[in-house]
Structure 1
Amino acid sequence: MSRIIGLDNELHRLEALSPSGYFLGMHIRFTSPLITLRTYSQEWQDHYTANVYVVRDPLIAWAFSKKGVNRWSEIKIPDPFNIMGQAAEYGMKYGVAVSCGPLGSRSIGTASRNDREYNDEEMAEVKRLVEYLHEKTEPPESLTQAQQEALGLIAAGHRHAEAAARLGISESALKVRLTSARNRLLARTTAEAIQRAKDYRLL
């Protein structure tokens, strides 16, 4: 599972609260999250994707109609495909859903367990974590010209030495620019930074 640089503590805490897995879709724009993280079983993810449940999921429907936190069992949205019943068969009997942010940049988080309902304190903590992650993954409005140039050349397929030569800087200076771009985009690798920059329409 990929991570978001600088937010390991929060993700570890969310993981501890989600023994049957969690899902995070951060800053959903034009139906697609800019960042997606999930720890649900691969079998469930494959089943969910194969059946295109994302457009039928009552939790997603709730999250786009409400903001806040709720137990899955308290979300009274029709589930004609019995997605929640199937989730229980995969070990996700109980859960909470969190929705935050404006409709144009909504973040959704779900956390699940197999043994009991979440108590109020656990619900509040999951909500706090999702809201914190939403805030910390807010896409930057821009990159510096130096960051854009460095990422752009690597995105175009140039090796570090060639990109540095094109910019008239040393290879170590290029690496500094790439590192600063990765940090600004909360990316662990340059490839991930390039993809996020494209998703954010910064490249």
Structure 2
Amino acid sequence: MTANQRLFSLLILISSPILFYSQPILALNSSDSIDANATSFIRKSCGATLYPDLCYSSLSGYSSAVQENPGQLARVAVGVSLSKARSMAAYLSNVSRQADYGAEPRVASAVHDCFSTMSDAVDQIRGSQKQLRHLVPGAALFRLQMSNVQTWMSAALTNEDTCTDGFEDVPDGPTKTDVCDRVSRVAKFTSNALALVNNYASEGTTSSGNP
């Protein structure tokens, strides 16, 4: 092999890795751009909620699923709200059982009532989630379905507020403070989800939200 041939072979070996790895790098940059657009969309959409920081922190992790789709964002927000409400209902179930042993009667009664209303909220949010998963194309039917979702999410939020209202006549104490603080936080997730549902419903079409 001549000196020129050896030099040519060496150049091929050096350039091959560059050619091989260039395409994945471009793909990664493209993916980063898509994720950045999605997170920007989520941040902007959360600006319409009462608790934008909580909205963004709880939903930004789902940017790859949401993309820039208001329907998907509403579905994810309702799903997060449902998860929080379920956890709260499970917590209240435990507190309710404990309150039956030695707790002040008004505390026990308020906890039982709170558990009941939170359970209703869970059912209503679950109904909203199911409806959002089975939207049928067509402007008139879409408006009817979204009206159902809005009604159920509003009712869920009302039930969560009712839970804390039930403690108004209960003396201050660790149980009252803990339950009210936890329920109030859950209600913020529900409020944010309702705002994003309202935003999606205002579009009046399923075209941007179909799975």
Q: Same fold (TM over 0.5)?
A: no
Greater percentage in strand: 1
Greater percentage in helix: 2
Greater relative contact order, per chain length (Cα 8 Å cut-off, separation 6+):
2
Higher Cα radius of gyration: 2
